[in-house]
Structure 1
Amino acid sequence: MSDDLFDKGLQIRRDVVGKDYVDRSLAEADDFTRPMQELVTRFCWGEVWSRPGLERRERSMINLGMIAALNRPHELKLHVRGALNNGLTRDEIREIFLQVAVYCGMPAALDSFRIAREVFKEVDAGK
């Protein structure tokens, strides 16, 4: 599967969440999951993340808030790492999750802090 939007999305996706993760996700895709991987790459990353108007850093901030509010720990972990790759500091990530606590509830924020600490430990360990 290759087209301009997919290729653009693939590059952005790799830049933000990491080449190893993306390549593994695509390699592990089967007949059932491949269409979803293609849709995510083409639409989310190729169409939306490549739009002008918001920088990747800003998109990461928005994603952290939304994904924390939706209580999606797997995606949150991935996007905390992506936020760091996009230049957010740990202090900024903390502030985002404090905002989540106020507007989305303490359980969502507590889980978000726990997940972020896991990512920070992995990053510090060089994983």
Structure 2
Amino acid sequence: MKTSYENGRDLLERLHGGHLGERMVNELNDVCPDFVDMTLEWALDGIMNRPGMDLKTRELLLIASCVTLGGTAAPQLHAHIDAALTMGAGKEEIVETILQMLFYAGGVNVSNAFRVAKEVFKQRNI
């Protein structure tokens, strides 16, 4: 039976396989390995691996959350847009998720999120 760490590592590979999200987690290993362990065990295995909601929906929710946080979450927004695409979300779903945040996150955050999305879409040739 796999540990929570191993399950989290597997999900990280599935969502971000070698892309920005995985690099963001791994690059903190030399700064705070406990944070990496918590991310893998709690966030990925403990929350993202829960039954009841598919990974695409979870990624769209994370995109919305990153939009509301604004520029402080730009790297995470990039990673979650990429992961949402990997999980089967389409460009229109991502655009609508970002646009939905207009009245909650503000025009500046939405505008900046669209810029991040545009960059990811270009990288993915979408």
Scaled by the length of structure 2, the TM-score of the pair is 0.88
User: 1:17 Cα deviation (Å)?
Assistant: 1.7
- Contact 2:62–2:80 under 8 Å retained in 1: yes
Which has the higher mean CA deviation after the structures are superposed, 17-26 or 82-91?
A: 17-26
Find the aligned partners of 1:7 and 1:74 in 2 and give their Cα distance.
Answer: 24
The ranges of structure 1 where at least 4 consecutive aligned residues each deviate by more than 6 angstroms after the TM superposition are none
Does 1:87 pair with 2:88?
A: yes
Find the aligned partners of 2:19 and 2:115 in 1 and give their Cα distance.
Answer: 23
User: Residue 54 of structure 1 aligns with which residue?
Assistant: 53
Gapped runs of 5+ residues in structure 1?
none
1:64-99, CA deviations, whole angstroms, 9 ceiling, x for partnerless residues? 101110121010001000010011100011101110
Gapped runs of 5+ residues in structure 2?
none
Inter-CA distance 24–113: structure 2 relative to 1 (3 Å threshold): closer
User: 1:35 Cα deviation (Å)?
Assistant: 1.2
Scaled by the length of structure 1, the TM-score of the pair is 0.87
Q: How much is the aligned-residue C-alpha RMSD, in angstroms?
A: 1.9
User: 1:4 Cα deviation (Å)?
Assistant: 0.7
User: Residue 29 of structure 1 aligns with which residue?
Assistant: 29
- Contact 1:18–1:82 under 8 Å retained in 2: no
User: In the comparison of the two structures, how many residue pairs are matched?
Assistant: 122
Inter-CA distance 20–60: structure 2 relative to 1 (3 Å threshold): closer
